[in-house]
Amino acid sequence: MPIAHAGPDFPERAKADSIVRALVDRFRLPGISVALTRDDRLVYAAAVGWADRDKRVPMTTTTRMRLASVSKPLTSLALMTLAERNRISLDTVVFGPTGVLGVEYGEPVFGGAKASITVRQLMQHLEGGWGNQRNDPVFDFYDMTQRALIARTLRERTLEARPGTVQAYSNFG
């Protein structure tokens, strides 16, 4: 399958393409999308393989993917930066009228333990539910947007433990 490119012409495109192909081959990836920036500018973007192998949908540089664990260090960096600048407290609750996300996800989450989940607990995988050992919501509904998945999970799934008491690695959290 050919590599799809986007962005400006990149002088080292052939070398970058060979690295991308080598990653696909070495790790037997169904598909990959890569973007490189320099000085806040996109310098290389490429994709190869399948976004959906069964349906033969090719990967493109605009294919949307769930990042799962890749997003955690980026999110943590952003949150710690905000905390250092006193723009957020890591002990702020996430849901409800005074929460970081406010009332966006509806009334069902305002009561009970879900209303006490803090930013710190999510960062430390201490939110009390949705561990990826079993029943990880991230892998249940691939067709949902992030907002829809969060709303459905909060509405339909109970916590497995009281927030702050049990650590369970969570893609969803």
State yes or no: is 69 an active-site residue: yes
CA angle 135, 136, 142 (to 5 degrees): 115
Give whole-number Cα distances, 22 to 16, 18, 27, 142, in Å: 10, 6, 8, 27
Strands 31-38 and 41-52: antiparallel
SS (H, E, C) 136-157: CHHHCCCCCCHHHHHHHHHHHC
The one catalytic residue in 33, 69, 76, 170 is 69
* Active-site residue list: 69
